[in-house]
Every structure is written in structure tokens, then in C-alpha cells.
Structure 1
Amino acid sequence: MKTVHLKLFFPRNWYHARRLKIYHKSELIAYIMHGDSLEIYLPDEATSIHWKLDYFRNTIALPQQQDPIYLLLFMDVGKGLIQLYRKTLNSRCIQGKVVTAEEFEHSTSATIYQSHLEWLPIARLDKSNLYIGLLTASITLFYSVYSKTEWRAILFLLGGGTILSFLILLFEKDKITLSDYKNRMWATVGSFVLSILLIPAKDYVVQILLLILTIGFTLRFIQHTQKLRTN
């Protein structure tokens, strides 16, 4: 029997809850999810395996003089946001690479995608601004609980969702992609603006407070982004 070790890594948070189907010839032999390490056994005469997920499908030839075989599966996402989405339209986007046992052992999402994505170490996050964001979201959340506005459910979701998003950032141990960080922060700004618009005019004190915090949060985020570019 031929032994094949597999690891699968998807970029960002794409397809993390989905299973990639592994086939030998036309037979489904295994499933694998993001971050999983899997060992499969094939006949000695096996020359290739292929995989499928939605419209993605691809094949890789297996080395005939190597056993065991170590295979990394990943998405070819190119560089930059435009290439990221353009390349994922290709049905052969999920690719395979035969590697050494050592490279296989030490492979992670960061090592696979480090040449394609800009990474932001957690130590360089502007945590003070995150706390400002948490304060703003908390005010929105508490307001939704104690007010009687017809938009209270939406305000609750906006405030609670922002708090959860920022807590994930604050408790992150390693690093995140810079684009994910920026997208999350701009989405937060949009959430704050929407919250201000949904609060009735009679509660103008809350509106003004949220507006001041939102302006401060946005300006500090822009300033922090400019510093990241120059460093």
C-alpha cells in the first residue's frame, strides 16, 4: 500500500466549515477540512488523486518512487485583493504540492499564504482604539436593551456583533491578515454610523456621544493605517 499524508489550508476564513472530497479514480476515499492532517492508503499502482469542493476540482500526480508521500492542499490566491477574487473563479484554484516530511510538519496557514497576504502581528494592533470601539459598541448594546425604539433588535445585533469581533481580535495570539483587519475596522465604522442613524432624534445625547466616539475611532484608525504603511 502507498501512504499519502494530507494537509489542507484555506485562506482567510473561507470554507473553514466545509469538507474537501478526496478521490482515487472515481472512488470517494476521504474527506478533509481546513487545518486537518489526514493519512490515506492507496494501492501501490496508484498514480494520482483528485479532489472536489463545489465547482473546484483538481488532480495531482503522485511520485512513484516515494513512500510515504506528503501533500499540501491550498488555494492559489495570487497577490492583492483583485487577484484573490479573480483566481478563485478558476475551478483549479485548489492546488496540491508534494513536500518533504519536515515542510509538511511545520506547514500552517501563515507559511502557506505568507507570500500572498500581508500579515499584521497582534503586537502592532492599536488596542487603545479597539477599546474605544468596544466602548462605543457597548453603549449601543445597552441602549438597545433599555430603550423602546422599534430598531432595538438591529441595534442589539450591531452592538453585540462588534463586541464579539473586537474580542476575537484582542484575544488573538498570533497575527491576522492586514486586509482582514482593515475590512473589519471599516465594517465597524459602518456599523457605528448605522447605529447613530437608527437611534431616535429624541435621544440626541446618545447620538452625539456615539458620533464623537465614532469620529475619534475612525480618525485614529486612519492614522494607525498610515503608520503601518510607513513601517
Structure 2
Amino acid sequence: MVKLDFYRSEIALPKGGSPYYVMLYMDFRDRFLVRHIDVFKRKCLSGRVVERQEFENFWVDFYNKSSLLSKPALWNTPNLILGMLVSAALIVRSVVEQNNTAQELLFLIGVGSLLSLIAVIVEKARIQQYDYDARITATACAFFLAICFVEDGFAAKFLLLAFNATFLLKSFAVVKSP
């Protein structure tokens, strides 16, 4: 029996005196949100007896089989530019709306989302699809939150809402299309 913190697993060991190698790994379903729930199961820790060569290449061979973690991100550069424009618009709105009590929040969301999208572009060669999806979704949620705090004018709110909806929908359309 193997125990690590609250994780517990039973692994059958071969009979005999020769050395054997045991790989311990987290066994979870590789889908969004489900993986986070599976990690809290006591039997998530799993293992198996392997040959020495497979044991030495454990990190190289085992976790790279995950299709979600190794899949490169699909890009939509115009959509990222649209997100950067929405970020810039939020920064401008925070400066223009001097009487807004949430002026600092608008500025923070605008600058934070702009830096986040710039980081996505800079990390273009190394970012995976899951990370890209999470960052775009979090940025769109931050945009929706910021739009709730814009005070001046229905037209400004409507335009920001329309651009944000386009940003979010175009991101998911690109991801699901191939």
C-alpha cells in the first residue's frame, strides 16, 4: 500500500528478489473541471510496476500522452487585437469617468487584461490550448465585470458589451472549428 498525504493506493508487487520499479502518478480524467474534481479523490494516486527503462523516462513518456495538455493553441490574431482594444477602451473609460467610484477597478481590469493578452501573444510558441482557453475566458469575464461598473452612457456600455461578446464567441468558434 502506498500513502501520500490523504491519497492512498494499493499496488500489487511481483514476487521475487529482483529489483522492480514502481511509477506513481495521479490518475484523473483529462477534461476541464473534471480533472480538478478527480484530484480530490483518495484513490487518485495510482501506480504500476514497470521496467527500468520506462521508469527512467517516466516524465517524458507518460504525461505527454494527454491530448489536451500537449495540443498547441489555435490562434485568432484579429480576435486578440479586439480584446486588446476592449482593454484599451476600459483604460480610457477609467480616465474619462472621473466621478465613477469604481474608476480604479476599471483601470485595473483594463491594464490587467491588456497585459494578459500581450503575454498570450509573447508566449505564442509555448502556450497550450487549455491555457489559452482559460486566459481568454478569464479575460472575457473580467470585461463583463468591468462593463457592469461603466457609468456614463448606454452607448458606451452597449459597444463594450457587443465587442466583448464578439471577443468571447469568436474565441470559442476558432477553438471548436478544426
TM-score (norm 2): 0.70
Q: Are 1:129 and 2:79 an aligned pair?
A: yes
Task: Find out whether 1:51 has 2:4 as its counterpart.
Answer: yes
Aligned to 1:201, the other structure's residue is in SS state: coil
Is the Cα contact below 8 Å between 1:80 and 1:116 reproduced in 2?
no
Coordinate RMSD, CA, aligned: 3.5
CA shift, 1:128, in A, is: 2.4
Q: Counterparts of 1:147 and 1:213 in 2: how far apart (Å)?
A: 20
Q: Which of 138, 148, 152 matches 2:88?
A: 138
Distance 1:163 1:97 in 2: 45
2:59 is the alignment partner of 1:107? yes
Amino acid in structure 1 at the alignment position of 2:110: G
Q: Does the 8 Å contact 1:196/1:211 carry over to 2? A: yes
Distance 1:75 1:159, change over 3 A: farther
Q: 1:106 to 1:82 in 2, by over 3 A?
A: closer
- Cα offset, 1:197, TM superposition: 1.9
SS of the residue aligned with 2:89? Answer: helix
Q: Distance in 2 between matches of 1:111 and 1:167?
A: 32
Contact 2:2 2:8 in 1 (8 A): no
Decide whether the 8 Å contact of 2:94 with 2:107 is kept in 1: yes
Alignment partner of 2:41: what SS? coil
2:130 maps to 1:158: no
Q: How do 1:16-31 and structure 2 match up within 5 A? A: none
Q: Which runs of 5+ in 1 are unaligned?
A: 1-47
Q: Percent identity?
A: 25
Pick one of 52, 55, 74 that aligns with 2:25. 74
Q: 2:94–2:103: 8 Å Cα contact kept in structure 1? A: yes
Structure 1 residues 83 and 151: CA distance shift in structure 2, 3 A? closer
If asked which structure has higher relative contact order (CA below 8 Å, sep 6+), I would say: 2
Superimposed CA distance per residue, residues 155-195 of structure 1 (whole angstroms, 9 cap, x where no aligned partner): 233223323432332233334244x4334333322222221
The letter for the 2-side match of 1:125 is: W
Q: CA deviation at 1:50?
A: 4.1
2:128 counterpart SS class: strand
State the match for 2:18 in structure 1.
65
Compared with structure 1, are the counterparts of its residues 131 and 112 closer, same or farther at alpha carbon in structure 2 (3 Å cutoff)? same
Amino acid at match of 1:193: F
Partner SS, residue 74 of structure 1: strand
Q: Secondary structure at the match of 1:125?
A: coil
Distance, in Å, in 2 between the alignment partners of 1:154 and 1:65 is 63
Aligned to 2:136: 185
- TM-superposed CA distance for 1:121, in Å, is 1.1
Q: Decide whether aligned partners of structure 1 residues 138 and 62 sit closer, same or farther in structure 2, where only a CA change above 3 A counts.
A: farther
Q: Relative to 1, partners in 2 of residues 1:215 and 1:115: Cα closer, same or farther, differing over 3 Å?
A: closer
TM-score, normalised via structure 1 length: 0.57
Looking at structure 2, the residues matched to 98 and 181 of structure 1 have their Cα atoms a distance apart, in angstroms, of 35
- Compared CA separation, residues 114 and 161, structure 1 to 2 (3 A): farther
Q: Which amino acid aligns with 2:174?
A: H
User: Does the aligned pair in 2 maintain the 1:50–1:60 contact within 8 Å?
Assistant: no
